[in-house]
């Protein structure tokens, strides 16, 4: 099991780009839920701590991770980026380890009102 967690972490580190967007908040928390229905286009997850203000990115509510312009030059590499973040979130959820999430208070562009995560680190 540790071999797989380490492989997932290496995959995320290998394809996660240099941070390109300004972020409104950073939080270190445990992953409570991971929703994989939309992988490889995006991944939704929830944390046990608030990200940002108490009215934005509230603990237990969905946070949306999807590739941004710096996450790859083509659709395939962006989808690989989402898969790697999904693997990292699953590993954190199953192991109980915390993740550090950088995000914005701006709701995502598809109108769902979810906060947007720019970076996810374990």
What average pLDDT score do residues 83-104 get? 95
Contacts of 40 (CB under 8 A, 6+ apart): 79, 80, 82, 83, 86
Burial string for 53-85 (b: 16+ CB within 10 Å, else e) reads eeebbbeebbbbbbbeeebbeeeeebbbbbbbb
What does the mean pLDDT of the chain come to?
Answer: 80
Report field, pTM of the whole predicted structure over 0.85: no
Q: What is the pLDDT of residues 17-73, one digit of tens each?
A: 444 456 788 999 999 999 999 999 999 999 999 987 666 788 998 898 987 766 677
Domains and CATH numbers, the chain: 2-121 (2.40.50)
- The residue among 92, 79, 93, 94 whose CA lies nearest residue 38 is 79
Q: What is the pLDDT of residues 21-34, one digit of tens each?
A: 567 889 999 999 99
Q: What percent of the chain has pLDDT over 70?
A: 67
Name the one residue in this structure whose structure tokens are 């999430």. Answer: 101
């Amino acid at each position: 099991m540790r071999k797989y967690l380490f492989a997932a972490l290496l995959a995320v580190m290998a394809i996660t780009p240099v941070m390109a967007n300004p972020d409104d908040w950073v939080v270190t928390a445990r992953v409570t839920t991971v929703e994989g229905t939309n992988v490889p286009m995006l991944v939704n997850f929830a944390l046990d701590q608030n990200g940002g203000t108490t009215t934005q990115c509230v603990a237990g509510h969905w946070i949306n991770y999807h590739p941004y312009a710096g996450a790859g030059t083509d659709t395939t590499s962006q989808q690989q980026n989402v898969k790697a973040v999904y693997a990292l979130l699953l590993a954190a959820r199953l192991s109980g380890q915390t993740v550090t999430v950088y995000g914005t208070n701006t709701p995502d562009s598809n109108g769902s009102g979810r906060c947007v995560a720019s970076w996810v680190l374990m």
